[in-house]
Amino acid sequence: MLILGIESSCDETAASVCEFTEQGEKRILSSAVASQIEIHRLYGGVVPEIAGRAHSEAICPIVTEALESAGKTIDDIDAIGVTSCPGLIGALLVGVSFAKSLAFSTGKPLVPVNHIKGHIAANYFVYPELKPPFLAIVVSGGHTSIIDVRSYTDFVTIGRTRDDAAGEAFDKVGRVMGLYYPCGAEMDKLASIGDKSAYKFPSAAIGDDTLDFSFSGMKTAVLNTLNTLAQKNESYKKEDIAASFTDAFTSSVCKKLDQALKRTGYKTLVLAGGVSANSHLRSAVTELCAKRKVTFCCPPLSLCGDNGAMIASQAYYEFLDGNLADTDLNASAVAE
């Protein structure tokens, strides 16, 4: 079957046509993304109203591009998947309203998709042998959650951030050092050439009896260090801050993942979301999994950030489970 996946939860308008065969093969036929990064860069972060307006402009051309580059027309599509939660409400509503209209006018089934589940489902394209149950962590600009993936559609969040998301912390620290939004990729490069022992930042892995994180303390410690250095008129190396912050970040994540693996007993771990592109995180989690004899999966860089294929992938399993929506589908800023 062919699924059109539509994503508009934050600052990327994306659409993709994917094919799912009865033999279990999954293929991405097209993946079109209109990024709003240049627009939001001026403000140092995503401005929700501007995001909604930019999605509205981009959605028709992006869906058309996805269909055309897959060599398909809307008549070939068997179901329409759309991100309905969580995310910026004005942004989500554009994709949801568009997908509802398309489903209404064509009579195609409409499949609502949870964005976080979509990030995890991106992995099914590259790991055909990956099957629930398994442990997953989604680290992105808006979310940081450790998830017990019980089946393709049944997920239980067993740990989450109590304040900032991981990507948000990367972006804020980078912004204070004068990097351009979104700062994650640049922070990653700087960290590779910096001294990770230059500064000691607090862990985001709070307590031993919880799988929750708190990134605000770690972020504030970095910002205080930068303020103190500025007040004393002392210079610093951006790469040392980036390396020390990244080290505190990766060891916090690894500590909680180690706890979660022990608690659940799972032997497969999936890393997903925009921050899963971080090279230091990928190698630290690879090492942890090797030590624990756990199979490690994480998507290629092209599928780490927001895209339509991950939504089509999750929509496929929701469709098989009969989780369809009527035309009264609404978007929700929080996970449902």
| Contact set with ligand KG4 (CB under 6 A) | 10, 140-142, 167, 170-171, 182-185, 187-188, 273-275, 277-278, 305-306
Scanning 61-69, 174-182, 194-202, 306-314 for contacts with Zn ion by CB under 5 A, the matching segment is 306-314
Spatial distance between the Cα atoms of 22 and 41, rounded to a whole number of angstroms: 43
122 binds, among Zn ion, ligand KG4, none (CB under 5 to 8 A by kind): none
CB of 108 to ligand KG4, least distance (A): 26
Q: What three-state secondary structure class fits 23?
A: coil
| Number of neighbouring beta carbons within 10 Å of residue 221 | 18
Backbone angles phi, psi at 34, to 5 degrees: -110, 110
Nearer to ligand KG4 by C-beta: 120 or 315? 120
For residue 302, the tally of other CB atoms under 10 A from its CB is: 14
The least CB distance from residue 319 to ligand KG4, in Å, is 23
Q: How near is the Cβ of 236 to Zn ion at its closest, in Å?
A: 31
CB closer to ligand KG4, 140 vs 314:
140
Which of these ranges, 39-47, 121-129, 137-145, 310-318, lies near Zn ion under the rule CB under 5 A?
137-145
Q: Are 72 and 108 within 8 A, CB to CB? A: no
The owner of tokens 């180690």 is 258
Task: Give the tokens for residue 291.
Answer: 């030590």
Q: Beta-carbon neighbour count of residue 240 at 10 Å?
A: 18
Are 142 and 150 a contacting pair, CB within 8 Å?
no
Specify the residue, 114 or 214, whose C-beta has the smaller distance to ligand KG4. Answer: 114
Instruction: State in angstroms the smallest separation of the CB of 324 from ligand KG4.
Output: 24
Task: Candidates 113, 306, 315, 319: give the one binding Zn ion (CB under 5 A).
Answer: 306
Residue 209 amino acid letter: D
Pairing of strands 12-20, 268-272: unpaired
The site partner of 294 among Zn ion, ligand KG4, none (C-beta below 5 to 8 Å per kind) is: none
100 or 280: CB nearest ligand KG4: 280
Q: Which among 152, 119, 98, 156 has a CA at the least distance from the CA of 319? A: 152
Q: Which is nearer to Zn ion, 30 or 140 (CB)?
A: 140
Specify the length of the chain in residues: 336
Of 84, 55, 75, which Cα lies nearest the Cα of 4? 75
| Least distance (Å) between residue 3 CB and ligand KG4 | 20
Rounded least distance, CB 305 to ligand KG4, Å: 4
Pick 103 or 183: Cβ nearer Zn ion: 183
The reply to whether 140 sits near Zn ion by the rule CB under 5 A is yes
Q: Rounded to whole angstroms, how far apart are CA atoms 226 and 241?
A: 9
By rule CB under 5 A, what count of residues binds Zn ion? Answer: 2
The Cα diameter of the chain in Å comes to 66
The minimum distance between CB 274 and Zn ion, in angstroms, equals 6
